[in-house]
Structure 1
Amino acid sequence: MDLTRLPDDLPAPADDGAADHLAGTPLPAISLPATDGSVVALDRLGSGRTIVYAYPLTGRPGTDLPDDWDTIPGARGCTAEACAFRDHHADLLAAGASTVYGLSTQDTPYQREAVDRLHLPFPMLSDGAFELTRAMGLPTFEVAGRTLLRRLTMVVRNGVVEKVFYPVFPPDQHAAEVLAWLVRTPGS
């Protein structure tokens, strides 16, 4: 299975309002481990805009995805989305983003393998203990006995969520959507 390509018949997620409360919310004083070995204090991201895109889980070649993964609206496409953020990374920075982070509930060693395999120029953050998920009420879903984040992106400006993209579909085109928003909405 090629994890970088999406099937044509993926179901689109519906906007259930589960992220409506996030815009205008300050990030909490929570620190998360990153794949570059650092610990990122979310309430001290610094000035400028930080892109935090949340995703359910990245697959690995040779490892089965959960049963019926492709039938869950919004589940499939994490690798394709990460590759799109990789491919648009320089453009995102040129358009005013100071940093890009991926965010999932997968542990850091698992995420590090994806960062290395996909040659991602940005770190992934692990919310394996669900601290950020609970504190901010991030939308989740259950599959195969696991709680996973629903796909969304927050643009954080000076520690506050400025813009939320939710639901995200199709995931392989989402980085371009974030880039277009940054170009249309320059920071001051």
Structure 2
Amino acid sequence: MSTRRVPDDACGIAQAAAVVGDWWSLLVLREIARGHHRFDRLADELGLSRKVLSERLRTLTDRNVLERRRYQDRPPRYEYVLTEQGLGLMPVLVSLQDWADRWLLGDGTLTGRAADGGAEARRVAALAGEAVPEGLRLPGTDGRDHDPLPPRAGATVLFAYPATGVPGIPADLAGTPVPGSAGCTLESRRFRAAWPRFDAEGIAVRGVSTQSPQEQAAFAEAEHLPFPLLSDAQLHLTAALRLPTFRAGQSLRIKRLILVVGPDRVIRHTIFPVTDIPAAVSQALALATETRERVRMV
């Protein structure tokens, strides 16, 4: 039987491990971040016994990582949502994923690229048919918080990118570029040039990166972008969709990808990896137009 070590009382790693340092606890948090809040859905997604799931949910609720909310009175049923403390664990989940993608599922290379048939590509491809969770709010370049999916759009194109340059800061001060991370300014300009066609079709465009809202706002103003850029600096969207990342300096950056989402919040198409930016923008327009037309026919 293990005994508590007094030095661990002041060790943040030990204290965190006591709360979430368990295989099933981490996977429960992963699924709740994905938008699966109800007991039966969690059990189905995880293939976990009801007894073990109940134990993990009780522990995470007792430790204020999750909040238990009633959604039905007769019989009483509850769903589980992340508290502010729980949301603070999202960067931890993404960091674990990033480490495994690089060192366990990859060859250890630090890169902003992805192999066509690799684990990251399979994970992104599997997003087709999944829903973007409700309740997400990301700061935009207009100073307001946004749902990543505008409610009245016939379809939405979300393009995620590592990081643009910041006006006024020389590129050589931003650190050594990671292979595969260049091209973000070009991508935004291509979407800007195609914006009239997206807008005419009733298709919303949103750019997403982990840059700060201030950095994004400076770039959007300098480039006269007609659509908002959204900041996922807290990695809430990245964790919810398990988007592929890489570490540049001290920051996690999203690898370049494009999602086409219907008005029902369901992801209909994914483009990843993005190797030809102009072709990917044209493909996104065609896929979003097709999505909008199919929705109208239903």
TM-score (norm 1): 0.83
2:232 is matched with which residue: 101, 122, 127? 127
Greater strand proportion: 1
How much has 1:13 moved relative to structure 2?
4.2
Cα offsets for 1:40-66 (capped at 9, x unmatched): 124763452011100000013523343
Q: Aligned pair 1:31/2:140, yes or no? A: no
1:10-89 matches, cutoff 5 A: 13-15=114-116, 16=118, 17-28=122-133, 29-42=135-148, 45-60=151-166, 62-64=170-172, 65-69=174-178, 72-73=179-180, 75-89=181-195
Q: Is the 8 A contact 1:101 1:125 kept in 2?
A: yes
1:169 is matched with which residue: 266, 271, 275? 275
1:90-109 matches, cutoff 5 A: 90-97=196-203, 99-109=204-214
Gaps of 5+ in 2: 1-111
Q: 1:132 to 1:109 in 2, by over 3 A?
A: same
Higher RCO structure (Cα 8 Å, ≥6 apart): 1
TM-score (norm 2): 0.54
Cα offsets for 1:138-171 (capped at 9, x unmatched): 1111122321001111111121111111111222
How much has 1:96 moved relative to structure 2?
4.1
How much has 1:184 moved relative to structure 2?
5.2
CA RMSD of aligned residues (A): 2.1
